[in-house]
Amino acid sequence: MNEFLSKKAGSIKPYTAGAQPSETDIIKLNTNENPYPPSPKTLEAYRSFDAAELKLYPRPDGGLLRQAIAKADGVSESHVFCGNGSDEVLAMAFAAFFDGNITFPDVTYSFYPVWADLFGISYNLLPLNEDFTIPADKLRGKGVVFANPNAPTSIALELDDVEKVIKQNSGHVVIVDEAYITFGAQSAASLIPKYENLLIVRTLSKSHALAGMRIGYALGQPHLIEGLERIKDSFNSYPLDSVAQRVGAAAMLDTEYYREAAKKIIATRERISKQLKELGYTVLPSSTNFLFVSKPGASGAALKAYLDGCGIYVRRWNAPRIADFLRISVGTDEQMDILVQKLKEYA
Amino acid sequence: MNEFLSKKAGSIKPYTAGAQPSETDIIKLNTNENPYPPSPKTLEAYRSFDAAELKLYPRPDGGLLRQAIAKADGVSESHVFCGNGSDEVLAMAFAAFFDGNITFPDVTYSFYPVWADLFGISYNLLPLNEDFTIPADKLRGKGVVFANPNAPTSIALELDDVEKVIKQNSGHVVIVDEAYITFGAQSAASLIPKYENLLIVRTLSKSHALAGMRIGYALGQPHLIEGLERIKDSFNSYPLDSVAQRVGAAAMLDTEYYREAAKKIIATRERISKQLKELGYTVLPSSTNFLFVSKPGASGAALKAYLDGCGIYVRRWNAPRIADFLRISVGTDEQMDILVQKLKEYA
């Protein structure tokens, strides 16, 4: 460690994102990107943007994007906060609402402990049940964060259970990370008017095929949105560039196209899930655009190395409980057929 | 303050950015934007980008942009860190290198104390000299940050003085914020091989007319770049979207166009500065794309209100020592002629 680092920078353990290889002849199923492109209307919004406008600063609050999110999600603009991907929104939410003793599941998005450490927030890990579901009754803390559906397990919590978690933590903010919500689970958005401690965080990366554009947002009552704005304006006043605001707005309003894309992904997921089970794989019940998969008796490390050799990128964590699982993004039907074929040959 | 805020969120005093009004019939001289558009090659990079690629995550390290910065500034890629505007880069540098007892001038970029508070870093304010120059000899701390040229004073420090500050703070990181460097001051970039504690931060917002694209970067020896990467990967792995990477790279490589644009701005600045002095205004010697101006005997608040009424937006801080000054961005010749005319009428 070098002598110039702050105590914080020297002690944190940064998050490791999935690889973004520059080879193009691979099958990339490692970062849960949408296999289908953004909608024609979204692409048209890109094309019609006048790049000469870039000489001016963007709207600091997200401008048209914020309006479009409010419209699409049926809330007022005062209930919406926009950020540079849901990672930034989550980071700011940690800083805005948590002082310590927060709780999240032991198997979940591996960025949560990193943000907690970055902002000096102590945390407790709640073990998932044996079947990798979240024991909702026990999810309590001075602040709670969980993903629904959870990642990388792919399993969704019922809305009743989500509401239970919000209720039993009244007085502390409950962040529901809905990064994968459009692929089958029920959103908690309908609960926002009822609970002053509920903050929902979403991303356009997966559902709207805009991973490369970096757009995330939060929904919650205005006092929570104001808390996020306080942190944003103490960190970076303009996190979303003018192109992202324009393109994201068009995507949010083109609901039909993205609903159809999600349907296709779900159909592929169910088909492949069935085939993998027939091959003897364990496949957790997915409400996401990925599958969490293991082969009884086989090593996850060996299986990943085999797929790497086949030019198929998937993700694996060398972590307790899940070291023998692979997280496989749902790609196109063609990509997934090749995957199944290769796994057949692995036997 | 609402009950859900963390102690930090409740106690910080966020930065206030210059207004981004939606009216188009105003003369906007309040946020130091470049009055000229991005170069034709930059606009072409925007147009030729295939927006269907947005379904994939961007390169987490800045990709082509990082390469272009390295090439344009004559360093290796290991000396470059890219972020979502120089504000984000500065915020991350505070977190990466400072533990407390840092020093910066009393009159400088008003975001410095905000970042210090956000990350719990104590700081000392060094009073500027009577003439608003930085007393370089006295700029010492367990970490130092200053803008060169300084903002909002517009005054540059000689390179010898910058080097003195770096030398007298060996063992602690010295951040030189070169947001306005292309408008007349001498960059400290040539000192990077010599000093392991020097970090330079720059933005494409002003010099490259890309305020709307949110691109900033840092230059320093690789151990400092690694420190910034540790913080980035603990906050948001992909701060720069794919469009910003492509457009920013084209801008960095089109040096001739932007040098000419800077020359035009400097010529306008000198012409207007002279005219304002002839009208009896105090105009600090500017090496930036703005003028810091006061009218002896006149109230800054009244003068700003008058210009607001004329549809001319400028910036003023209700802060010690500078409450009677206005910061006026250098716009086009036409815009500045109207400004001078209106100030003549103010008498």
B241/A2 touch (CB, cutoff 8 Å), yes or no: no
Is the predicted pLDDT of residue A25 greater than 90, yes or no? no
pLDDT for res B173: 98
CB A282 within 8 A of CB A154: no
Q: How many CB atoms lie within 10 A of CB B257?
A: 17
d(C-alpha B85, C-alpha B202), whole Å: 9
pLDDT for res A2: 85
The pLDDT tens digits of the residues spanning A26-63 come to: 999 999 999 999 999 999 999 999 999 999 999 999 99
Report the residue of A3, A29, A54 to disrupt the B interface, i.e. the one with the largest count of B CBs within 10 Å: A54
* Cα–Cα nearest to A84, from A292, A303, A236: A236
A210/B235 touch (CB, cutoff 8 Å), yes or no: no
Quote the radius of gyration of chain A (alpha carbons, Å).
20
Residues forming beta bridges with residue B45, ordered by sequence position: none
Option in A60, A117, A213 nearest B17 (CB): A60
Give the H/E segment covering residue B145. Answer: strand B144-147
What average pLDDT score do residues A238-245 get? 97
B196/A119 touch (CB, cutoff 8 Å), yes or no: no
The pLDDT tens digits of the residues spanning A130-163 come to: 999 999 999 999 999 999 999 999 999 999 999 9
pLDDT for res B24: 77
Give the H/E segment covering residue B218. Answer: strand B216-220
B198-203/B216-220 β-pairing: antiparallel
d(C-alpha B267, C-alpha A43), whole Å: 40
B95/A119 touch (CB, cutoff 8 Å), yes or no: no
Rounded to the nearest integer, the mean pLDDT of chain A is 96
Residue in chain A lying closest to B61 (CA): A20
Distance (Å) of CA A19 to CA A114, A294, B291: 18, 21, 46
A51/B38 touch (CB, cutoff 8 Å), yes or no: yes
d(C-alpha A267, C-alpha A261), whole Å: 10
Mapped onto helix, strand or coil, the DSSP state of residue B324 is coil
Option in B6, B114, B243 nearest A99 (CB): B6
Option in B4, B37, B223 nearest A2 (CB): B223
Residues forming beta bridges with residue B192, ordered by sequence position: none
Residue in chain B lying closest to A42 (CA): B51
Question: Starting from the edge strand earliest in sequence, which strands make up the sheet with A326-329, in order?
Answer: A282-283, A290-294, A326-329
* Cα–Cα nearest to B330, from B158, B200, B203, B209: B209
Give the H/E segment covering residue B82. Answer: strand B80-83
Mapped onto helix, strand or coil, the DSSP state of residue B292 is strand
pLDDT band for position A19 (cuts 50, 70, 90): confident
| Tokens matching residue B22 | 């939606």
pLDDT for res A17: 86
CB B247 within 8 A of CB A54: yes
| Tokens matching residue B172 | 């602690």
Distance (Å) of CA A163 to CA A80, A175, B84, B161: 20, 12, 36, 61
> ipTM of the assembly?
0.96
Mapped onto helix, strand or coil, the DSSP state of residue B341 is helix
Å from B68 to nearest chain A CA? 17
pLDDT band for position A303 (cuts 50, 70, 90): very high
HEC string for chain A: CCCCCCHHHHHCCCCCCCCCCCCCCCEECCCCCCCCCCCHHHHHHHHHCCHHHHHCCCCCCCHHHHHHHHHHHCCCHHHEEEECHHHHHHHHHHHHHCCCCEEEECCCCCCHHHHHHHCCCCEEEECCCCCCCCCHHHCCCCCEEEECCCCCCCCCCCHHHHHHHHHHCCCCCEEEECCCHHHCCCCCHHHCCCCCCEEEEEECCCCCCCHHHCCEEEEECHHHHHHHHHHHCCCCCCCCCHHHHHHHHHHHHCHHHHHHHHHHHHHHHHHHHHHHHHCCCEECCCCCCEEEEECCCCCHHHHHHHHHHCCEECECCCCCCCCCCEEEECCCHHHHHHHHHHHHHHC
The pLDDT tens digits of the residues spanning A74-125 come to: 999 999 999 999 999 999 999 999 999 999 999 999 999 999 999 999 999 9
Tens-level pLDDT at each residue, chain B (347 residues):
589 999 999 999 999 988 888 777 899 999 999 999 999 999 999 999 999 999 999 999 999 999 999 999 999 999 999 999 999 999 999 999 999 999 999 999 999 999 999 999 999 999 999 999 999 999 999 999 999 999 999 999 999 999 999 999 999 999 999 999 999 999 999 999 999 999 999 999 999 999 999 999 999 999 999 999 999 999 999 999 999 999 999 999 999 999 999 999 999 999 999 999 999 999 999 999 999 999 999 999 999 999 999 999 999 999 999 999 999 999 999 999 999 999 999 96
Q: Which DSSP letter does residue B180 get? A: T
CB A232 within 8 A of CB B236: no
The residue assigned the tokens 């002053």 is A196
* Cα–Cα nearest to B283, from B228, B336, B218, B227: B336
Distance (Å) of CA A176 to CA A90, A150, A219, B153, B334: 10, 10, 10, 45, 52
For residue A35, the chain B residues in CB contact (below 8 A) are 55
Question: pTM here?
Answer: 0.97
* ω into B152 cis (within 30 of 0): yes
User: Sign of the CA dihedral B101, B104, B105, B109?
Assistant: negative
Residue in chain B lying closest to A121 (CA): B6
B4/A115 touch (CB, cutoff 8 Å), yes or no: no
Chain centroid to Cα B85, Å, comes to 9
A14/B117 touch (CB, cutoff 8 Å), yes or no: no
B102-105/B123-126 β-pairing: parallel
Residues forming beta bridges with residue B105, ordered by sequence position: B126
Option in B197, B212, B242 nearest A57 (CB): B212
B55/A42 touch (CB, cutoff 8 Å), yes or no: no
Q: How many CB atoms lie within 10 A of CB B70?
A: 19
Cβ neighbors of B49 (< 8 A, separation 6 or more) are B242, B243, B246, B247
pLDDT for res A1: 57
Å from B59 to nearest chain A CA? 6
Q: Which DSSP letter does residue B106 get? A: S
B55/A38 touch (CB, cutoff 8 Å), yes or no: yes
Residue in chain A lying closest to B222 (CA): A2
Mapped onto helix, strand or coil, the DSSP state of residue B75 is coil
A57/B7 touch (CB, cutoff 8 Å), yes or no: no
* Cα–Cα nearest to B272, from B256, B283, B262: B283
pLDDT band for position A22 (cuts 50, 70, 90): confident
For residue B166, the chain A residues in CB contact (below 8 A) are none
Residue type at position A40: P
